[in-house]
Structure 1
Amino acid sequence: MLLQPIVPTLADASSADISDAEAGALARTTVNLFNAWKLTDAQACTLLGGLSARTWARWKEGSPGRIDRDLRMRMAHLMGIHKGVRYLFKDVARGYEWIKAPNAAFAGKSALDIMLQGELSDLAVMREWLDAERSAW
């Protein structure tokens, strides 16, 4: 049998986009995650890029409305952080507590302290750190 050339598959730039339906599901999941992390409304709004308290209240009622690209990326990072914590801690409660616990790896700050600096890049850094910790095993 002769080797056959592999036909390259062209990348579809739209396939990486988060759809409106996915964004709505992310919003509902984010509300549940923040409840599990026992965050204040102010902390939730900061993690979501300065979301207004009124908009956050609507999210908690199940009406997220229009979700822009930045917010979609923030929620995607938060889900990645959640996934990383769940991989590191088999005890769910311990993982949720870890989010707020002082950590020597962060100069005594908690993961939440790092994420609450407010930038999208802070969420990305935390996600990357968790991915690196997980892959070291």
Structure 2
Amino acid sequence: MAKASIVRARDRRNLTGPALRTFFRIADAWGLREQEQMRLLGLESRSTFQSWKRGAVAAIPRDALERISYVMGIYKGLRILLPRTADEWVRKPNKAPIFGGRSALERMTSGNVADLYVVRQYVDAQRGWR
């Protein structure tokens, strides 16, 4: 059991740098404000956020990696679906029932990882992935 925990910790350390760099590139493409980025990452502390942004962290929590994974999937799916307007789509009001007239970004920044999952599932369904 202890060995499995060590492997997972090592995997998180190996994934942290690439995951954060990718997340911040997506955040730039989407024009996200600092508070929106923090909500997507599940962070409340601005100093922790700033450390992550500088890359001054050995390993981020599993929850944050999961959140980044959903953001990456949403980003990739939107690039396939809407090559020209993918980055703008996240802020546009959406009539789909899961958004209730709000934007995908509003749903994603609710603070709940489940909302990232729902948006990811929606984008995948639009692509024909189930």
TM-score bucket of the superposed structures, by smaller chain: 0.7 to 0.9
Say which structure is richer in helix: 2
Highest CA radius of gyration, 1 or 2?
Answer: 1
Alpha-carbon distance in structure 1 between the residues aligned to 2:109 and 2:86 = 18
RMSD: 2.0
After the TM superposition, which segments of 4 or more aligned residues of structure 1 sit over 3 Å from their partners?
A: none
Contact 1:27 1:64 in 2 (8 A): no
Question: 1:59-110 deviations in whole A, cap 9, x for unaligned?
Answer: 222324330111111111111111111111121xx11000001111122100
Question: 1:104-135 deviations in whole A, cap 9, x for unaligned?
Answer: 11221000011011101000000000000001
Contact 2:17 2:55 in 1 (8 A): no
Residue 101 (structure 1) aligns with: 92
AA in 1 matched with 2:48: T
Alpha-carbon distance in structure 2 between the residues aligned to 1:20 and 1:66 = 4
- The equivalences for 1:58-137 within 5 A come to 58-91=51-84, 94-105=85-96, 106-135=99-128
- Give the unaligned 5+ runs of structure 1: 1-13
Residue 5 (structure 1) aligns with: none
- Indicate the larger mover: 51-60 or 66-75: 51-60
Aligned to 1:102, the other structure's residue is in SS state coil
- Give the unaligned 5+ runs of structure 2: 1-6
- Indicate the larger mover: 20-29 or 123-132: 20-29
Alpha-carbon distance in structure 2 between the residues aligned to 1:44 and 1:57 = 11
Alpha-carbon distance in structure 1 between the residues aligned to 2:11 and 2:123 = 22
Cα distance change, pair 34–109 in 1 and its aligned pair in 2 (3 A): same
Identity, in percent, stands at 37
- The equivalences for 1:23-38 within 5 A come to 23-38=16-31
Q: 1:24: Cα distance to partner?
A: 1.7
Alpha-carbon distance in structure 2 between the residues aligned to 1:18 and 1:84 = 25
Q: 1:57: Cα distance to partner?
A: 1.4
AA in 2 matched with 1:34: A
Alpha-carbon distance in structure 1 between the residues aligned to 2:59 and 2:11 = 13
